[in-house]
Amino acid sequence: MTISNQPLELQVPKAEGSSRRAMLFILVGCIVLFIILQFGITWFAGLVDQTWAPLIVAGIMVLVAVLFERVFFKRSSSQGFLALGFGHPNPRAILAAGIIALLMMVFFPIFALATGAQISLKSDWLWTLLIIVAFNGIGEETLFRGYVFGGLRREAGLSFRRAGFISMIIFAAVHLLLFIGNPFFVGFLGTLIAIASAFPMAYLFERGNNTIWAPVVLHVGTHMIRLVDISEAHYLTAVGIWLVMQIGMVFLVFAFLGNLLKPQEGTYGEK
């Protein structure tokens, strides 16, 4: 299967009924895909090794999303993957996301020096990184940027701001689940991060040639704290500072809008 690098037509003016129907399909699909992503690991717990479950669930969710593109919007499989953001990215968007993610890593040596905390890589950090890339990166970005935000732009014909706002509400609502089983401040800050990151991630998606790869890089960067062990006395403090830092760091995307994320000639620009 070959995925073309040619961008799909976006924000084509839609008749009101067609736009509402597209939004309904996107909402229904989002609910189903989220259920797969959120509860799939539990479903597979008794069938496969727990370390493999996130990878399998992310793969299933992506395939179901492609199926929805075919059923709802009459796209072929290759067109479905392309619509969901699996095309060729803009390397400059990848670079911008990578720079921000690397800047986030500076937190660990600074925090260790300032507090005396012991910070070390976990023994299974490489496998954990793979899970983060597949599940939190590709899985969640396919759902929220490729299917929801991208769908609102492509199929419903919404403006960048309207599509970004609606996807922000959905993304924030999903993160309310962080209040279950976590300290209040973790759920609260996690939800704020979801709200703060909606438009920066949308810019990375759209100016990254309508692909998920730049958002995946930045999304993975926000989860890097899961790769390290932090001394117990400093753990909650580190997590709190890390989450607060994410709220501000994602806005660094805007610093690249006039250079690395400048719209490419002949590509779709947000309105």
Q: How far apart are CA 190 and CA 203, in angstroms?
A: 20
pLDDT confidence of residue 6: 47
pLDDT confidence of residue 2: 45
pLDDT confidence of residue 96: 97
| DSSP letters for the chain | -----SPPP-S----HHHHHHHHHHHHHHHHHHHHHHHHHHHHHTTTS-TTTHHHHHHHHHHHHHHHHHHHHH---HHHHHHHTT-S---HHHHHHHHHHHHHHHTHHHHHHHHH---EEE-TTHHHHHHHIIIIIIIIHHIIIIIIIIHHHHHTS---HHHHHHHHHHHHHHHHGGGGSSS-HHHHHHHHHHHHHHHHHHHHHHHHTTS-SHHHHHHHHHTTGGGGEEE-HHHHHHHHHHHHHHHHHHGGGGGGGTTTTTSPPTTS----
pLDDT confidence of residue 270: 59
Predicted TM-score (pTM) of this structure: 0.89
pLDDT confidence of residue 90: 96
The tens-digit pLDDT sequence of the chain (271 residues) is 445 454 455 544 555 668 899 999 999 999 999 999 888 888 887 788 778 999 999 999 999 999 999 999 999 999 999 999 999 999 999 999 999 999 999 999 999 999 999 999 999 999 999 999 999 999 999 999 999 999 999 999 999 999 999 999 988 887 787 788 778 877 888 788 889 999 999 999 999 999 999 999 999 999 999 999 999 999 999 999 998 898 899 999 999 999 999 887 655 555 6
